[in-house]
Chains A and B, each alone.
Chain A
């Protein structure tokens, strides 16, 4: 407690998040005066060194932004470069990209569920401790995670920084026979994922809501992953509803080419990541947003699991705004990704050639995909030889910072009404609030604008 009655909580280094961040919270007379997610991950200047590279290089280079979601970077990069070059990758090549992405979703979401998030619900520090009481569930989780990695390894060569993705498609595509053993395993894992949804649905969840606009890609007819149109759902307060309402609210869509007119980044002094706002308002991307925007297009098995897990029926206009329950939505997405992977494998016919030609063109291209943590946008400007002259990457965690800080304010305010918490209690609570959104700090910190204005 400071002399002026202000209480400060500083949390040095956040655990069980990917990358380096700290928290700074100030409380005065029962009100939160400051809640800052302080990202001190050193910047790596990707947008600067992408300039001068060939138009074929962004997939391999930007993959290195994030070891957790390299496929997201590779495929957002491909989409943006192909958009600039007016090339459309469709048919079985597009299906293979979606299959690869399903693998990353399974891997990344099960990683977050079991290794980063679930320990919070059991009051333990890590997955090793969790395995002492939940051994079978942890082992099932690791097997699911491995199944996701197996998809990425088969299509991509390896699970971290896959080597087989290129602008226009792949270097090599698998045969039907190569995919068969994978499908056999995935049929087992689909049942395991349904059990996973039931397991996490049984956790104790605090009452909570979030008063943010929800932003995700939409691709009518399917649960958008590797393509779609940016679509935003109104925040509850704008509709005169409480933050924890489970009602779907009106949405509006905008063209991906207008992305930077809508999602605007600004620098804040305490963070090496840029904060973004959507049409001037706070927004959230990721599982809760996807479920709100695309939930109705989940496959029957995933819809049924979601309903049984208490998430309601998204086809009837039910959404989930409790960030603590995002773990259930992630589990449903794991189940969906396995189901979808099986559907793609069953319909697979090897495309030939493995990639379409992407001749360079002087233009600016835009691309967005749904990284496990949320919408990831890339933009490249090319000259006539294909040299990148300008690059912009907008990762989900940078977009989510404002929403995470608001969740911190809301949760701490609520907790203070129930009496004075200890520092340890407050710290643990804040860490949970942050982990709810699976922030990927390594991603978010590398997008400082190097241009002098």
Chain B
């Protein structure tokens, strides 16, 4: 991408409610880390550096979901000082596993949360970054895939659209040559409705996909849910299967609520 005066683009990494795993993915790029640091100036990355560079930032990577009032304000500021904002991972993109609070009995939850209100300030919901500010790209996964993260940064530097397909995990099983665990073993697997990106890891290890990249672009629940039941899941199992790390993703949220009403 073109930058003023040929300076290196400035990268910032931000954290909200999360396990830190997605920003850690950047530090897990052992082969690329020092190279990336030559191409971009890591201006703000609290987990990795005590120094903070001046605003604005060319690319902000945002890890984590919004669960407090202060964080809801902080993300507005981050948007205003960022040319591009990319969410990294299921928390920032869909609210994360902490969005399970969204299903808690509100009265009980409130009584519980405000038992010592002077100690803890937290919102009753966990929401994705896109519920608060415009987002340029959402990277899926709990955690994100290291290769996809490098692709996003590389594409940004080259001024092109990153190659991050939104088809289902099934495509990646075929690419990898993994026999279908549903067809071959009758193992319940969320692969047909789950966004690709992990490389179809779980089926390669003999277990069904558990949906950690969230919904794909081609979902047909009326055909899919009966398959889960055929392979031994009851209603509670189906609800639990969709209520994990992407529970607040609209498609997963809708199907789990519908199943829970059964």
A interface residues with partner B (beta carbon < 8 Å): 13-20, 41-45, 48-49, 53-54, 57, 60-61, 64-68, 70, 111, 115-116, 119, 125-128, 131, 138-139, 142-143, 145-146, 149, 157-161, 163-164, 166, 171-172, 267, 269, 272, 354, 431, 442, 448, 450-452
Contacts and interface: CB of A to CB of B under 8 A. Distances in A.
Given A48-B104, A171-B207, A450-B112, A158 B49 contact: no
A15 B50 contact: yes
A157 B201 contact: yes
B152 interface: no
What 3 A-B pairs come out closest when comparing CB atoms?
A67-B21, A126-B49, A125-B51
Given A49-B101, A68-B19, A160-B24, 12 more contacts: A60-B244, A64-B245, A67-B21, A67-B143, A70-B19, A116-B48, A128-B34, A158-B143, A161-B142, A171-B206, A267-B119, A452-B115
Interface stretch (B10-18, B166-174, B224-232): B10-18
Interface string B216-248: 000000000000000000000100100011000
Interface stretch (B25-33, B77-85, B131-139, B153-161): B25-33
Interface string B28-52: 1011011001000010011111110
B184 interface: no
B204 A157 contact: yes
Given A16-B47, A146-B31, A70 B202 contact: no
B120 interface: yes
20 contacts: A14-B46, A19-B15, A42-B17, A42-B67, A48-B101, A67-B24, A67-B143, A68-B19, A115-B48, A125-B50, A126-B48, A126-B50, A149-B28, A163-B201, A163-B205, A171-B205, A267-B116, A269-B118, A269-B119, A442-B20
A82 to B, nearest CB: 18
Interface-centre pick from A65, A145, A160, A431 (highest chain B CB count, 10 A): A160
Contacts of B48: 16, 115-116, 126-127
B205 A164 contact: yes
A354 B206 CA distance: 11
A16 B30 contact: no
A116 B46 CA distance: 10
B12 to A, nearest CB: 13
Contacts of B118: 269
A199 to B, nearest CB: 18
Given A67-B24, A68-B21, A16 B67 contact: no
Interface residues of B, number: 59
Nearest to A428: B50
Interface of B: 15-22, 24-25, 27-28, 30-31, 33-34, 37, 42, 45-51, 67-68, 71, 96-98, 100-101, 104, 111-113, 115-116, 118-120, 122, 126, 142-143, 198, 201-202, 204-207, 210, 212, 237, 240, 244-245
Given A44-B67, A67-B143, A15 B17 contact: no
B19 A66 contact: yes
A41 B204 CA distance: 36
Contact of B30 (A43, A145, A431): A145
Contacts of B198: 158
A53 B240 contact: yes
A430 to B, nearest CB: 12
Contact of B28 (A41, A70, A119, A160): A160
Contacts of B201: 157-158, 163
A267 B115 CA distance: 12
B68 A42 contact: yes
Contacts of B28: 145, 149, 159-160
A41 B237 CA distance: 32
Nearest to A19: B20
A128 B42 contact: yes
Contacts of A68: 19-21, 24
Contacts of B100: 45, 49
A187 B223 CA distance: 51
B260 to A, nearest CB: 12
A53 B27 CA distance: 33
A307 B46 CA distance: 35
A115 B72 CA distance: 30
A175 to B, nearest CB: 13
A85 to B, nearest CB: 19
Given A61-B97, A161-B142, A452-B111, A272 B120 contact: yes
A442 B143 CA distance: 15
Nearest to B98: A44
Interface-central residue, B47, B116, B119, B212, by most chain A CB under 10 Å? B47
A61 B118 CA distance: 29
Given A42-B71, A44-B67, A15 B49 contact: yes
A138 B33 CA distance: 11
